[in-house]
Amino acid sequence: MIRLFKHYVPHAVLLLGMVDVVLLFCAAEASWVLRAWQIGMAVTPVTHRLGPLLTFAVAVETALIAVGVYGLDALHSVRFAAVRLIVGVAVGMIIVSVLSFLFPGLTLWRSNALYAALIAPTALTVARLMLGRLLGSETFKRRLLVLGAGPRAARIKALGDRPGAGFIVCGFIGMNDGPDAVRGAINRDAIESLADHVVNLKASEVVLALQERRNALPLKDLLRLKTTGVHVSELSTFLERETGRVDLATASHSWLIFSDGFASGRFLSSIAKRQFDILVSLVMLIVSAPLILLTAIAIRLESKGPAFYRQKRVGLFGEEFDVIKLRSMRQDAEVAGQAVWAQENDPRVTRVGRFIRMVRIDELPQLWVVLKGKMSFVGPRPERLQFVTSLAEQLPFYDERHMVKPGITGWAQINYPYGASLEDAHNKLEYDLYYAKNYTPFLDLLILLQTVRVLIWPSGAR
């Protein structure tokens, strides 16, 4: 994987993204040449239209990222990818249309853009058919040697057996630190030189997955490997990189303290983030005001009670604040203010409420909370105090998610379905901790783009 702004991107995804940008540029150029031939116009050098061609390629590539073209499902199914490519190009055309209105000189003519939009999905699908085997081959996969053969090592094996894994486990070495749980593991005593064994296996990384480190960690061997260019990873760091979340089963206080993350240089990023929140929330409030008003009227017509509701949520540094939403449940959804998990097909949800939850219209009034500064566009989902108190007692490091401002959307929201149980809260916490630990403006941008995918394919909405 390649680390971009503290976030890991698989080599295969990066290569495919670069190929897509080139193909989109070529599709735009082909449309220009085709249109020039139709109207009998001489074709000028490509340097004369670099701006419009690049604008089209970047706009559509941004849309492809947003709709999930580079997700695991799309990478392993050409049919699945083709559908997302068509949707992505359509969304990209909307972006191009907006840019053509704002910056007429930097975009393709409408007829050219239409031809490019027709050419692009075919070219991108053909590229996936041609590169499919290469992207799924061992060319882009790292070879790992795992020190340990217990349950922790078994987790790595299970992760490597999943479709789309970015690594291959070439061997396990039992370190006499507990009973083995992996078949075929070699005992450390049977290996004369760990360094030579790594070379023979052509491993580029060694992962420490010991059950008990005391008197089992081969420090001299690991130092020799490190100095010869072999990457040595601790299990928690490895799982964070491969899964995009902090694994609570292996994470410890010492690892969180000494591992990379929670950088102090966030001051300028926080200022930029706040300015973005103010500008975008103000514009979106103005644009969405008619929709909010019409939805509020529909809610009042269907059921008794106010169209909006306020609810206390826990935010930055554990401070409570009022969140505002359009009401999607009956007024008597909770008895005596007792917090209750939302369930799938919850009978308390009204007909209007079910629709606005599915398309996320109920979240629009939270733009006011963002404008006031209590929330951000991106961050962990704010929870109610009753849930926070209970979850903090049952889940380790739960309070650490409150070290960043809560958001309307977040890393957990785009990677995990709506949670309504302790297990769901556990899984979402792992994503929230990853965000809190690795926050950068790049990750915020990626989350905002991927939120479009959740809006188009609203799985998990309740």
> What gap in Å lies between CA 83 and CA 88, rounded to an integer?
9
Q: Which residues pair with 3 in a beta bridge?
A: 8
> What gap in Å lies between CA 318 and CA 236, rounded to an integer?
26
Contact 415, 244 (CB under 8 A): yes
Q: Which residues pair with 460 in a beta bridge?
A: none
> What is the reported pLDDT for 80?
87
Backbone angles phi, psi at 140, to 5 degrees: -100, 15
Angle at Cα 241 formed by Cα 240 and Cα 244, nearest 5°? 65
> What is the reported pLDDT for 459?
58
> What is the reported pLDDT for 119?
93
Q: What is the pLDDT of residues 136-165, one digit of tens each?
A: 667 778 899 999 888 999 999 999 888 778
Q: What is the pLDDT of residues 50-97, one digit of tens each?
A: 888 999 999 999 999 999 898 877 777 888 889 999 999 999 999 988
For residue 345, give Cα distances in angstroms to 57, 154, 381: 41, 37, 21
Count CB neighbours of 239 within 10 A: 24
Closest CA to 78 of 167, 26, 21, 16: 16
Instruction: Give exposure, 369-381, as e/b (b: 16+ Cβ within 10 Å).
Output: bbbeebbbbbbbb
Phi-psi region for residue 382, left (φ > 0), alpha (ψ -120 to 50) or beta?
A: beta
Side chain identity, residue 61: E
For residue 393, give Cα distances in angstroms to 139, 347, 406, 422: 45, 30, 20, 11
Structure tokens at 459: 């799985």
Closest CA to 447 of 20, 65, 46: 65
Locate all alpha helices (DSSP H) within 40-109, ordered by sequence: 50-67, 72-76, 78-102
> What is the reported pLDDT for 346?
67
Residue appearing with tokens 């303290």: 257
Count CB neighbours of 431 within 10 A: 22
Contact 162, 224 (CB under 8 A): no
> What gap in Å lies between CA 215 and CA 416, rounded to an integer?
39
Contact 447, 410 (CB under 8 A): yes
Residues contacting 40, CB < 8 A, separation 6+:
none
> What is the reported pLDDT for 461?
46
DSSP tag of 319: -
Run means of pLDDT, 10 residues per run, the chain, 462 residues: 83 90 93 84 79 92 93 81 92 90 79 89 91 74 90 91 86 82 85 88 91 74 88 93 92 88 72 92 94 93 87 92 89 60 68 86 92 94 91 92 92 83 91 92 92 76 44
Side chain identity, residue 367: L
Structure tokens at 36: 């020039």
Closest CA to 160 of 170, 173, 151: 170
